Structure 1
Amino acid sequence: MKRLRNVKILATLGPASSDEDMIRKLHAAGADLFRINMSHSSHELMRTLIGRIRAVERECGRPIGILADLQGPKLRVGKFAEGSVTLSAGQTFVLDNRDEPGDSTRVFLPHPEILEAVQPGHRLLIDDGRLQLLAVESDKTSITCTVVSGTKISDRKGVSLPDTTLGVGALTEKDRADLDAVLATNDVDWVALSFIQRPEDLAEVRKIARGRVGLMSKIEKPQALERIDEIIELSDALMVARGDLGVEMPIESVPGIQKQLTRACRRAGKPVVVATQMLESMISAPVPTRAEVSDVATAVFEGADAVMLSAESAAGDYPVEAVTMMASIARKVERDPNYPGIIYSQRPQPEATGADAISLAARQIAETLNLSAIVCYTSSGNTGLRAARERPNVPVIALSPVYQTARRLSVVWGLHCVVTEDATDLDDMVDRACRIAFREGFGKPGDRIIISAGVPLGTPGSTNMLRIAYIGSDGMTGI
């Protein structure tokens, strides 16, 4: 199935999209990989969804990626005697460790790590920022606050801490159990880590995962931005999770942060996903707002690897229409006359490695000679990532003998992934590349392609060769 666009679409599965037929429709509409939200999925449901995705994958014959999104630490206040209370700006309100129903003066905060970490002057945002508190005193058992804005607080509302770095890691006990279940399936390609604060938060997960899944860090806390270069280096991919990021930071700063993260990931050759509320109105409407279309278009213009649908595909009334619309926006943007100039102006300098030099040369040759496609053999996925980092204006076909690699690369900009056996010799390498380019619709007899591979063949990390080849007159044999 040839996509007529480079940016990938990540669709979240949920009540509106959990059966196999709907997954098939979403994939046909343009979803390249699927997200399973572990905040709302039991282990049994997760395994069921994986089985249905893999059934669709076998049917369509194209690798489909699966992302399991861990919940992360959910910080919430306790309950109130009356269910909710009304506050007023300027009044004092206390969060403490007393496990008793709250009132208009106090509420239980069942998170000792917050009580220990918050300092006077720190902000506490309740219910996605609808209530803002300012800490004026803290004694490790209670936090005395002044109400800055907002008037209402009710049971179990979430707490955000934009000024506070917590001393606990990003993995909760639920996350560890979910991660074990994900790894036990041996069939999930990416794990998204919520509320990353520092590079050390990745260490425990990487130790447990041992390379069996790619690690995608969700950037949704200001603390992560302070050490973003280190986090990018230790991550396999990033997600710009604009929902919580827009709560913990001034909402007007989020677009600029999105651009900074997209460009930083491209420089590092790491995939980046832009997420949250992209087509939010399509949860209940068959068409998006003009502002939402512009939002998706901005991410595509910036060269993001993927854009994500959350509730739109998981619980909305129009999941297929949402995917179709996102794909349509992407195709239109990538054909805009301004698109090449914007993409190329951000092109990073190649790193001093063989894979980067080969990928740069392949892109330059393909564009200079107007070749039909770049075909790269990639076992580990690194050559595919390097080819995509160049953002060439010709299609890139990534050939891999490893199904897990092809599935993981499904999130990467511009890569059309095909699982195939390793070439047996140089002639087979050329013939195989030409046959697949023809079969997949990327070239016709007489067209030329450029092939990157490594000698000796089948050796991961040895990309050191380029070859220009013609697709034969029978569309099958490289000449």
Structure 2
Amino acid sequence: METGLNQLKSELDDLDCEMIEEVEKRISEAGEIEPRNYNSWKNLIHYLTLRNADRRDLQLSLHNAGLSALSNSESHVRFQLQAIQRRLGKSYAHKDLATCTYPFAKAILEENVNRLFGQQKSKSHHVMVTLDGQNGTNAEEIADFMKRGMRIARINLAHDSEQDWLAIIQAIRQAEQMNNGSCKIYMDLAGPKIRTQFLGMQVDESALKIDKGGCFYLTDDAEGLDQSKLVMISPTETSILPFLKKGERVLIDDGKIQGIIERKISDFRVEVRVTHIFKKKPTVKPGKGINFPDSKLKIDPLTDYDLKVLPFAVKHADLIGYSFVNRPKDLAHLMEEMRKISEEIPPAILKIETALAVTNLPALLIEGMKMPFVGVMIARGDLAVEVGFERMSEVQDEILWICEAAHVPVIWATQVMESLHKSGLATRAEITDASKATLAECIMINKGAHTAAVLESLAEIAKRMEGHRDKKRYTFRALSIAQRFLSKKSGPL
């Protein structure tokens, strides 16, 4: 047993040294980090070091020794490691103790949540509700949403006009007065949403027939192609065409049509072979989204349209959602453009909706830590198409873990209780999904006819889950099943 404990001590010492070394390697970037985020930056590096190798054998050894297995230590990982070492007899000078303790991590995350989403009297999760010109101008209805738990109103700047947005803001302010409360305003930049459009003699068609095994062309013009026989699709952002390569996947309409680039004819024309069609009618329609999960698209997520509406967003929004952000320089560009408009700028919410954004998440968070506050949205619509539906659950968890290590609040978005929202009746699966959503600090719902019912259900689910779980750390609230069983002297009913 003593040999086993000595081996365990040695492994923990090695891991501790790795964490220190990784921070030292990157200490030059720490000078740009907002001072209040320094400990969060350091803890993120510590956590990434922990997850840089397979630690399952170490965890099992810790568990067998009756010690913490590090599995719930995202927010304070080196402090937890040192706590284990102290249990094993190691002593530390005060200056060598990790500064990111569990109470500190909990306090800094709470401060970040309150700043981004607003303070709440209860522990309940924050809920964001999407409003538009149709459902967002009735102050009494918005006041009712606030009573039922809405704390943030979302305005999608890809739709409607400044006049419509102002009408929504005015209704929100009236609702605040009715409720004697406050509601944050979140505005989504549209970003370069890549959609299908037709060319040449096909431009006015409502749909074009495609066949599994057949081909279509992604191109910026129809010249030289047989327009009577070939399907020609022009992405709305033709600047992406030069970055496409042979063998990369092309997904259309949320992955209902899947293909692979068979031939690159020129910088602005590729031939795509259709590999799968997951819809009753084998057609492609204009205005459908296109995803390129394997391609490294070097386009600016801040479009000309975004720059046009950015002054309005900076003036009126409490939070700005950055769509299709992929690289740290993308975030730096947004910050630069906002500072041209005003010295006082709202915090950015990084919308993680591409495979590249997932890969670059640590670097994006570190760039975000140069500002006092930053948040993340798991934008599951495009993200699921990009990473694959089978991987979506795993990717969601990874984003939550890494953001917890950085003490960055997360918004869980897309299709939350969508059946209930649209039809008034929830499915069993979406109730379970809503339960999982409570791992995030904020839950976003889209627009629908039954918003009040969704808010009530989310409040009930959150209340129940919060008694059992703090982030992914399960807590031992009294369990009614146990109480009922132990209070009866006889057997089952």
Structure 1: distance between partners of 2:251 and 2:472:
37
SS at match of 2:192: coil
Q: How does 1:29-428 map to 2 (within 5 A)?
A: 29-79=148-198, 80=202, 82-98=205-221, 105-109=230-234, 110-138=236-264, 139-150=266-277, 151-183=282-314, 186-210=315-339, 211-235=344-368, 236-300=374-438, 302=439, 304-310=440-446, 314=447, 316-336=448-468, 339-340=469-470, 342-343=472-473
Structure 1: distance between partners of 2:417 and 2:450:
11
Alignment-mate amino acid for residue 91 of structure 1: G
2:136 and 2:168 in contact (8 A); partners too: no
- 2:137 is aligned to 18
SS at match of 1:174: helix
SS at match of 1:40: coil
More helix by share: 2
Structure 1: distance between partners of 2:215 and 2:260:
10
Deviations 1:85-141 (A, max 9, x none): 222222222122216896652314143312211010111111111111211222112
Deviations 1:142-190 (A, max 9, x none): 111111112321223221111112221101111111212212xx33110
Structure 2: distance between partners of 1:40 and 1:144:
32
- 1:463 is aligned to none
Aligned length: 335
% identical equivalent positions: 27
The Cα shift of 1:274 comes to 0.5
More strand by share: 1
Structure 1: distance between partners of 2:453 and 2:122:
17
- 1:442 is aligned to none
The Cα shift of 1:344 comes to 6.5
Structure 2: distance between partners of 1:102 and 1:35:
42
1:86 and 1:104 in contact (8 A); partners too: no
Taking structure 2 as the reference length, the TM-score comes to 0.64
1:117 and 1:165 in contact (8 A); partners too: yes
Alignment-mate amino acid for residue 171 of structure 1: L
The Cα shift of 1:330 comes to 0.7
Alignment-mate amino acid for residue 218 of structure 1: K
> Cα RMSD over matched residues?
2.1
The Cα shift of 1:223 comes to 0.6
Structure 2: distance between partners of 1:201 and 1:136:
31
Unaligned runs of 5+ in 1: 346-479
Structure 2: distance between partners of 1:125 and 1:155:
14
2:324 and 2:352 in contact (8 A); partners too: yes
2:358 and 2:399 in contact (8 A); partners too: no
Distance change (3 Å), C-alpha of 1:328 and 1:18:
farther
Structure 2: distance between partners of 1:275 and 1:20:
24
Taking structure 1 as the reference length, the TM-score comes to 0.66
The Cα shift of 1:340 comes to 4.5
The Cα shift of 1:333 comes to 1.1
Distance change (3 Å), C-alpha of 1:25 and 1:197:
same
- 2:47 is aligned to none
The Cα shift of 1:250 comes to 1.2
The Cα shift of 1:17 comes to 3.9
Deviations 1:236-256 (A, max 9, x none): 100000111111121021111
SS at match of 1:284: helix
SS at match of 2:260: strand
Unaligned runs of 5+ in 2: 1-118, 369-373, 476-493
Distance change (3 Å), C-alpha of 1:92 and 1:177:
same
1:16 and 1:319 in contact (8 A); partners too: no
Distance change (3 Å), C-alpha of 1:172 and 1:99:
farther
Structure 2: distance between partners of 1:247 and 1:258:
13
Deviations 1:342-396 (A, max 9, x none): 4369xxxxxxxxxxxxxxxxxxxxxxxxxxxxxxxxxxxxxxxxxxxxxxxxxxx
Structure 2: distance between partners of 1:332 and 1:40:
36
SS at match of 1:196: coil
Structure 1: distance between partners of 2:240 and 2:228:
20
Structure 2: distance between partners of 1:260 and 1:327:
25
SS at match of 2:127: strand
Structure 1: distance between partners of 2:472 and 2:205:
55
